[in-house]
Chains A and B, each alone.
Chain A
Amino acid sequence: MVSHRDYSNEVRPTWCPGCGNYGIWNAIKRALAQAGLAPHQVMMVTGIGCGSKMNDYLHINGLHTLHGRTLALASGFRLANHEMPVIAVHGDGDAWGEGGNHFLHAVRRNIGLVDLVENNHIYALTKGQYSPTTHQGIVTKTSPQGALEQPLHPLAVAITQGATFVARGFSLDIAGLSGLIIAALNHRGYALIDVMQVCATFNRRMNYDWYRQRVYKLEDEGHDPSDRMAALAKALEYPGGERIASGILYQDASQPAYEEQLAALGAGSLVSQPYATRPADDYHQLIAEYT
């Protein structure tokens, strides 16, 4: 039996008191343990930001990388070892600012990753500048006159671009988030979880009470996750409206993951395959192309 304590290490988080990352941290540990995965059986790839330090605070295979490049590294790892579940953990700036292009292509590629985005609507590690999901008009250190741009609708982008698993979680609802992570781990392709995360220091307006008044569970309202247009409508509710849907907005389990379609991986993961030990004729064929 795997316990969530198997994922604990000696490193103490440097997050602020009241940070939403604590809830996400606990939800991840619980989900991985409940999924029966031991720390050496899963890879966590993170970027740069407060929440990207997640794998520093866990006993887990970890790759802590560069701001914005999280999905590229996670994708490379996945293609080399698709037998190991890969979970990407990064913030809204990493995922949708610096890493926006990788997000777009991971979605349409349907590569088998769990993409958990800690969306606190602010840049926190750099101490309070506006992010791609900051609401219009919000004053931050780089928007003293109020943010001019519309906030990104990441879930709507994902649904319209062919994502096969689109969910939203809430850092205070550890059980609910844990369930979403398990569902995402069980999904065949790319699985996006947009986590509403409180930043108690640099985004005090969107505190726990603010979220509690707005977040609701899709399962309580009879939402059908196989209905793409209904999912899109839910995705467009927020940002903009006063209700924030949580749960699985959309899932299509019928689509193959990218890696399932590669001939080279039919014989097992790339890393498990031996080096080329081929008949001499094959080598001579390589040279014969040029004679």
Chain B
Amino acid sequence: MAKIDLTFRIGGEAGQGVESSGAGFAKALARAGLHVFAVPSYYSRIRGGHNHYTLRVSDEPLEAISERVKVLLAINGECVSRHLDAMVPNGVIIVDPSVDLDEDAVAASGARLLRPDLLSIAEAHGGKVMLNTALLAYAAAVTGLDLGHIFGVIRDNFGKRKSIADANIQVAQAAYDLAQSGHAGLVQPPLRTQSAPVRVVIDASHAFAMGALMAGCKFMAGYPMTPATSVLEYYAKHADDWGLVVKHAEDELAAINMCIGAAHAGVRAMTSTSGGGFDLMAEGLSLAGMAEIPVVVYLCQRPGPATGLATRTAQADLLMAIHASHGEYPRIVLAPHTPQEAYACGIRAHNLADRYQCPVIVLSDQYNATSLWSIEADAFDLERVTIERGALIQGQALDGIESYRRYALSDDGISPRAVPGHANGVYLATGNEHGEDGHLNEEPDVAVAMLDKRMTKLEMVRSEMRPPLALGPEDAKVTLLSWGSSVGPVHEAMLQVNRGGGSVNMRHWVDLWPFPEEGSQAALDGARRLVAVEGNGTGQFANLLAAQTGIRVDQRILKYDGRGLTPAFILRHLEEA
């Protein structure tokens, strides 16, 4: 058992620095050698509303947040009233005395209210906006965290703006000093700095983007859409240093088709979007399928339909990713569950797209895109990356080739793809049905041969799709089924049940399409009671499993309130056999 397992929450209005404080605090905790897992919660607005950041810290690896808060840092009164129910009985609430709040309600909750005069400190050294810095430093003192880690993050965040950094450091020092006269060390055990390997604090979207960069994906076109935009921004930020072409396109129709155009020229290309943007890309995706041009789409889900809950999370586009757009063509759908897997997926998706000359959809979601994990930096092996471009022929490789046929029929459905520019590799690629030479052809036997060729590739891919991860005891009364970003909460729920004498194991899918039918059947062989756990309202994975294998689940635990799955939610709904 972990000696330390503590949850912080910092909250206030949009525009009050909640996001930067939360992310910075996560880094400070990781630098102290502690494990951290952090999840932000935003409204779709730039000012007002109520945003908060939840950070769980432990001396053991973490993969989910807790619903119960030990230390609440409230920038405003709403933060206290909203989260009072989440406080553990002996929790601590830190809030400036200038903030109006219902102290009786706080007293009734059993939480301890601390009201240090932090606003005066912020105003004395910098300004009102530095209240969040004062809160973090005070919290560091209360929990025994070395103030130096807070200083380090302040210096990183403000970089060259030294006067702002200095003012924040003065605010932090003064707030920390103030705590020494009473509340320092109130929360036990203290968050002492531990010796640990260097850890990164990263979310799955950034890890995926880093993987794609390592895979030699040099072209990206996209259109901003929450929660997918961070991949486009990562690419734009690294464009000049890493020789990338990054196009913020006029719309998602342009984005996907620019990618296909670039991929046809011979470079690796990708786009990122969320559900509504993906809808617009569906036609382009079918062109990539028909013309057999590789393209990678990072589909970062949020709740729909239409605009839905724009800044929230869902796992409700699984069946769309698998079935989007007209006609029948091969595609690959992968749902990485951790930043390490997302990084690996950034490489694997491009390799699969090139090898099978088809679209690859990487299915993520807002929870996955914004949850910060602390992971040992060595887990990302940046110096050993395998780039597999499949049957791509370029330059001199075309010298000896006569009567090249782009869509030559073959046993595995894969035809050599020439990079345009060589006299022996002149051909037409088209979204119309075509013969082996690429020219338009409407003959029935050609249509059949070409569809068969393309769909043969799907069966080739299926043979390398991985079965679900198997976690927990081999034999159990209940088997939890999950996919994508929910691995942490489901795994932790499993562990909690088993610690209490229960009997639960889990199967978690990352490779979703083409569905690993045999591997899935084998993984569920002998399972007694199947419970699907998903972030959608209908149980899309459970339906997919039934359609692909005939296996029906016994219970569906579904969360579709726009917030990520938590272990506590799963435990509340789990009906044990």
- Which residues of B385-425 are within 8 A (CB) of A? 387, 419-423, 425
A30 to B284, CA, bound (A): 32
Inside 8 A of A63's CB, which chain B residues have their CB?
261, 264, 291, 428-430
Q: Mark A193-231, 1 if CB is under 8 A from B, else 0.
A: 000000000000000000000000000000000000000
Q: Is the pair B261, A75 in contact by a Cβ cutoff of 8 Å?
A: yes
A39 to B243, CA, bound (A): 29
Q: Is the pair A55, B250 in contact by a Cβ cutoff of 8 Å?
A: no
Partner of A271, one of B266, B284, B438: B266
Q: Is B485 interfacial (CB 8 A cutoff)?
A: no
Least CB distance from A59 to B in Å reads 6
Total A-B contacts with CB atoms under 8 angstroms apart? 192
A283 to B250, CA, bound (A): 32
Inside 8 A of A73's CB, which chain B residues have their CB?
257-258, 260-261, 264
Which residue from chain B places its CB closest to the CB of A64 in the assembled complex? B430
Q: Is B50 interfacial (CB 8 A cutoff)?
A: no
Q: Is the pair B242, A276 in contact by a Cβ cutoff of 8 Å?
A: yes
* Contact segment of B169-177, B195-203, B475-483: B195-203
Least CB distance from B261 to A in Å reads 3
A262 to B260, CA, bound (A): 20
Inside 8 A of A75's CB, which chain B residues have their CB?
247, 254, 258, 261
Q: Is B571 interfacial (CB 8 A cutoff)?
A: no
Which residue from chain A places its CB closest to the CB of B430 in the assembled complex? A64
Q: Is the pair A69, B377 in contact by a Cβ cutoff of 8 Å?
A: no
Q: Is B113 interfacial (CB 8 A cutoff)?
A: no
Q: Is the pair B245, A80 in contact by a Cβ cutoff of 8 Å?
A: yes
Q: Is the interface of B mostly helix, strand, loop or mixed?
A: mixed
Q: Is the pair A101, B251 in contact by a Cβ cutoff of 8 Å?
A: yes
Q: Is the pair A45, B216 in contact by a Cβ cutoff of 8 Å?
A: no
Given A263-B240, A265-B245, A270-B245, A80:B262 Cβ within 8 A = yes
Which residue from chain A places its CB closest to the CB of B198 in the assembled complex? A291
Given A72-B253, A76-B262, A273-B218, A280:B383 Cβ within 8 A = yes
Inside 8 A of A43's CB, which chain B residues have their CB?
265, 420
Which residue from chain B places its CB closest to the CB of A273 in the assembled complex? B243
Q: Is B214 interfacial (CB 8 A cutoff)?
A: yes
Q: Is B341 interfacial (CB 8 A cutoff)?
A: no
Q: Is B382 interfacial (CB 8 A cutoff)?
A: yes
Given A43-B420, A73-B257, A287:B377 Cβ within 8 A = yes
Q: Is the pair B266, A283 in contact by a Cβ cutoff of 8 Å?
A: no
Inside 8 A of A72's CB, which chain B residues have their CB?
249, 253-255, 257-258, 261
Inside 8 A of A102's CB, which chain B residues have their CB?
250, 253-254
Q: Is the pair B383, A66 in contact by a Cβ cutoff of 8 Å?
A: no
Q: Is B283 interfacial (CB 8 A cutoff)?
A: yes
Inside 8 A of B259's CB, which chain A residues have their CB?
76
Q: Is the pair B431, A64 in contact by a Cβ cutoff of 8 Å?
A: yes
Q: Is B559 interfacial (CB 8 A cutoff)?
A: no
Inside 8 A of A270's CB, which chain B residues have their CB?
218-219, 243, 245, 262, 265, 267
Q: Is the pair B250, A77 in contact by a Cβ cutoff of 8 Å?
A: no
Q: Which interface residue of A72, A84, A276 has the most chain B CB atoms within 10 A? A: A72
A62 to B420, CA, bound (A): 9
Partner of A76, one of B257, B387, B432: B257
Least CB distance from A6 to B in Å reads 10
Inside 8 A of B431's CB, which chain A residues have their CB?
48, 64-66
- Which residues of A46-79 are within 8 A (CB) of B? 48, 53, 55-56, 59-66, 68-69, 72-79
Inside 8 A of B387's CB, which chain A residues have their CB?
275
Q: Is the pair B380, A81 in contact by a Cβ cutoff of 8 Å?
A: no
Q: Is B178 interfacial (CB 8 A cutoff)?
A: no
Q: Is A264 interfacial (CB 8 A cutoff)?
A: yes
Q: Mark A134-156, 1 if CB is under 8 A from B, else 0.
A: 00000000000000000000000
Inside 8 A of A56's CB, which chain B residues have their CB?
428, 430, 439-440
Q: Is the pair A105, B254 in contact by a Cβ cutoff of 8 Å?
A: yes
Least CB distance from B339 to A in Å reads 9
Q: Is B239 interfacial (CB 8 A cutoff)?
A: yes
A40 to B413, CA, bound (A): 26
Q: Is A157 interfacial (CB 8 A cutoff)?
A: no
Q: Is the pair B218, A264 in contact by a Cβ cutoff of 8 Å?
A: yes
Q: Is B73 interfacial (CB 8 A cutoff)?
A: no
Q: Is B213 interfacial (CB 8 A cutoff)?
A: yes
Q: Is A35 interfacial (CB 8 A cutoff)?
A: no
Q: Is A1 interfacial (CB 8 A cutoff)?
A: no
Q: Is B94 interfacial (CB 8 A cutoff)?
A: no
Interface size band for A = 35 or more
A270 to B426, CA, bound (A): 20
A199 to B423, CA, bound (A): 34
Q: Is B269 interfacial (CB 8 A cutoff)?
A: yes
Q: Is the pair A62, B266 in contact by a Cβ cutoff of 8 Å?
A: no
Inside 8 A of B427's CB, which chain A residues have their CB?
61-62
Q: Is the pair B421, A40 in contact by a Cβ cutoff of 8 Å?
A: yes
Q: Is the pair A286, B210 in contact by a Cβ cutoff of 8 Å?
A: yes
Partner of A101, one of B31, B198, B250: B250
Q: Is the pair A291, B377 in contact by a Cβ cutoff of 8 Å?
A: yes
Q: Is B221 interfacial (CB 8 A cutoff)?
A: yes
A43 to B420, CA, bound (A): 8
Q: Is the pair A290, B200 in contact by a Cβ cutoff of 8 Å?
A: yes
Partner of A104, one of B245, B250, B267: B250
Q: Is the pair A80, B261 in contact by a Cβ cutoff of 8 Å?
A: yes
Partner of A287, one of B267, B382, B426: B382
Q: Is the pair A264, B244 in contact by a Cβ cutoff of 8 Å?
A: yes
Given A69-B257, A264-B239, A290:B202 Cβ within 8 A = yes
A33 to B493, CA, bound (A): 70
- Which residues of B20-44 are within 8 A (CB) of A? 30-31
- Which residues of A231-272 are within 8 A (CB) of B? 262-265, 267, 270-271
A265 to B218, CA, bound (A): 11
Least CB distance from A261 to B in Å reads 11
Given A66-B283, A275-B216, A267:B243 Cβ within 8 A = yes
Inside 8 A of A271's CB, which chain B residues have their CB?
265-267, 419, 421
Q: Is the pair B202, A39 in contact by a Cβ cutoff of 8 Å?
A: no
Q: Is B287 interfacial (CB 8 A cutoff)?
A: yes
Q: Is the pair A39, B426 in contact by a Cβ cutoff of 8 Å?
A: yes
Inside 8 A of B219's CB, which chain A residues have their CB?
76, 79-80, 270
Which residue from chain B places its CB closest to the CB of A71 in the assembled complex? B254
A270 to B262, CA, bound (A): 9
A55 to B429, CA, bound (A): 10
Which residue from chain B places its CB closest to the CB of A284 in the assembled complex? B382
Least CB distance from A181 to B in Å reads 19
Least CB distance from A37 to B in Å reads 12
A221 to B423, CA, bound (A): 43
Q: Is A175 interfacial (CB 8 A cutoff)?
A: no
Partner of A65, one of B210, B239, B242, B257: B257
Q: Is A183 interfacial (CB 8 A cutoff)?
A: no
Given A79-B245, A291-B200, A66:B257 Cβ within 8 A = yes
Which residue from chain B places its CB closest to the CB of A264 in the assembled complex? B243
Q: Is A182 interfacial (CB 8 A cutoff)?
A: no
Partner of A60, one of B213, B240, B284, B426: B426
Q: Is B70 interfacial (CB 8 A cutoff)?
A: no
A64 to B432, CA, bound (A): 8
Q: Can you spell out 25 A-B residue pairs with CB atoms less than 8 angstroms apart? A: A9-B439, A40-B426, A61-B427, A64-B429, A65-B291, A65-B430, A65-B431, A66-B257, A68-B253, A69-B283, A72-B255, A73-B264, A75-B258, A76-B264, A77-B261, A79-B247, A81-B420, A84-B420, A84-B421, A102-B253, A105-B249, A263-B240, A270-B267, A271-B419, A273-B243
8 additional contacts (CB under 8 A) given A76-B262, A270-B219 = A40-B423, A64-B431, A66-B287, A80-B267, A102-B253, A263-B239, A264-B243, A276-B242
- What residues make up the interface of A, taking CB atoms closer than 8 Å to B? 9, 11, 38-41, 43, 45, 48, 53, 55-56, 59-66, 68-69, 72-81, 84, 101-102, 104-105, 262-265, 267, 270-271, 273, 275-276, 280, 283-284, 286-287, 290-291
